[in-house]
Amino acid sequence: MARYAHLAGWGMCVPDHILTNDDLSRIVDTSDEWIRTRTGIRERHIVNEKTETTSSLAVKAARAALEVADLSPRQVDMIIVATVTPDYPFPATACLVQDALGAAHASAFDLNAGCSGFVYGLNVGSSLITGGQADYVLVIGAETLSRITDWNDRDTCVLFGDGAGAVVLAASQISGGVRATVLGADGSGGDLLMLPAGGSRHPASQQTVSDGLHFIHMKGREVFRFATRVMPQATREVAERAGWTLDEVSLIIPHQANDRIIQSSAKRLKLPPERVFTNLERYGNTSAASIPIALCEAVEQGRIEPDDRVILVSFGAGLTWAAAAVEWSMPLPVKPVPWWRVLFSHLRYRWAWLRSFARRALRKLAVILLGPAEGNGWLARLRTHRDR
């Protein structure tokens, strides 16, 4: 029997702190006017360096998505975190999220496809569901780009922001959900948008730090040209794969990088502005988080209705591009969560924290009692002493 992957839950999280264009004009030689006319961005949200990370934003977005889906974290089979700003190179941010949620039965991994990562994640998650390997997959796009931004470089620092968005993909035999995806890559453009150091090519050293190689490096004009070419192309291709005409598409949710890129793509596709969703003026480019954040806001603003056909389309570092055709199947508006479920969720996440704490403690205790290798721990020594 055919299986479909539906978007059953969605949630987002952005940091409280807002950095406006005027704030930026006090840091670098720029102006609100330049940023707004060249990019469409007015402000962006920035994490608190001490208290917020990519995983902490991802966890909050994931919890909200699970709440909408009315799903326990223990039912989740897989967690995919799309990010270019993981908490660490390893372990994967997805594993930190899995632990914080108490998603005890979920496998977890990170996916790096630049800003296209979230749509790549939808492709992987929906394929696992339609192939019968998973029933529930949590796909998260989460970024703290402010942590890899050179705040002295006006070419890049005006563009990016922090945030996270998540969706729950759920298996169903009812037709709908993710109907088609298109993924692409062109590594010959890898140098156009990169973080040069911190990997095996240029491991972190005093030199790489002083050369500013741990910040985003971007050739803006080339990326712009690439984006205006692939966005309409991927949109057309995914509509064709889903068997839709563009006239049948209710809403396009493009990657929120630059309003000029979005408008140019819409013009090429002959789409009126009301069928293209934008919110980048308030968030800037949040890379892999931009599409799920926009999706959440489109739902909240009543721009998506049941049975609507929606296309998500992105481009990013790699270079990569990706598009997904989604048939919206969830009833809207979402009913408010009753107080007892809020309380129950709170207790569940406290329990997840306790579970994690206990597992860490037990692991330490096992090494003390049994030793790092079989038979040389404290218990073994006690036994030897007793037998003598």
- Residue environment code for 225-237, b if the CB has 16+ CB neighbours within 10 A, otherwise e: ebbbebbbbbbbb
Angle at 235 between CA 232 and CA 236, to 5 degrees: 85
Q: Tell me how far, at minimum, the Cβ of 217 lies from ligand ACO, in Å.
A: 11
| The one among 154, 217, 241, 275 contacting ligand ACO by CB under 6 A | 154
Q: Which of 294, 141, 142, 148 is nearest to 209 (CA)?
A: 148
224 lines the binding site for ligand ACO (CB under 6 A): yes
| Site mask for ligand ACO (CB under 6 A), range 241-260, x = bound | ----------------xx--
Nearer to ligand ACO, 125 or 141 (CB): 141
223 lines the binding site for ligand ACO (CB under 6 A): yes
H or E element at residue 98: helix 93-101
| 230 beta partners | none
Alpha-carbon gap, residue 160 to 146, rounded angstroms: 7
158 lines the binding site for ligand ACO (CB under 6 A): yes
Q: Tell me how far, at minimum, the Cβ of 216 lies from ligand ACO, in Å.
A: 7
147 lines the binding site for ligand ACO (CB under 6 A): no
Nearer to ligand ACO, 56 or 258 (CB): 258
Interactions with ligand ACO, residue window 78-117 (CB under 6 A)? 114-115
Nearer to ligand ACO, 38 or 268 (CB): 38
Q: Which of 115, 196, 189 is nearest to 148 (CA)?
A: 196
Q: Is the dihedral of CA 192, 196, 201, 207 positive or negative?
A: positive
Q: Which stretch binds ligand ACO (CB under 6 A): 60-68, 154-162, 335-343, 359-367?
A: 154-162
286 lines the binding site for ligand ACO (CB under 6 A): no
Q: How many CA atoms lie within 13 A of 273 on its CB side?
A: 6
Q: Which stretch binds ligand ACO (CB under 6 A): 132-140, 170-178, 201-209, 218-226?
A: 218-226
| Site mask for ligand ACO (CB under 6 A), range 26-65, x = bound | ----x---xx--xx--------------------------
Strands of the sheet containing 162-172, edge to edge, are: 4-13, 162-172, 136-144, 78-82, 107-111
Nearer to ligand ACO, 92 or 158 (CB): 158
What single letter denotes the amino acid at residue 60?
K
Show which residues are catalytic: 115, 255, 285
DSSP 332-353: SSPPPPPHHHHHHHHHHHHHHH
Nearer to ligand ACO, 114 or 125 (CB): 114
**Residue 48 backbone dihedrals phi, psi, to 5 degrees:** -80, 120
Binding site for ligand ACO (CB under 6 A): 30, 34-35, 38-39, 114-115, 154-155, 158, 193, 218, 220-221, 223-224, 227, 257-258, 285, 287, 316-317
